[in-house]
Amino acid sequence: EYAYKHPASLPVGIVMRCWAARRASVRITRDGEAIFLNK
């Protein structure tokens, strides 16, 4: 699963391209640990 961050307080025209810089991949292990794959 994945999701994008979008600051709701700013107009869409200003943040139209900012989602690309805020993408990340994370692996959730069976014990609940989050391992970020893109640093």
From first to last of its 39 residues, what are the pLDDT tens digits of the chain? 556 665 565 555 554 455 555 667 888 999 989 888 876
Domain carrying residue 13: 1-39
Q: What is the pLDDT of residue 30?
A: 92
Label residues 8-37 b or e (16+ Cβ within 10 Å = b). eeeeeeeeeeeeeeeeeeeeeeeeeeeeee
Name the residue among 33, 30, 12, 32 with its Cα closest to residue 4.
Answer: 12
Q: What is the pLDDT of residue 25?
A: 82
Structural contact between residues 25 and 4, judged by C-beta atoms closer than 8 angstroms? no
Q: What is the pLDDT of residue 29?
A: 92
CA dihedral over 9, 11, 12, 13, signed as positive or negative: negative
Q: What is the pLDDT of residue 37?
A: 84
For the whole model, what pTM was predicted? 0.38
Number of domains in the chain: 1
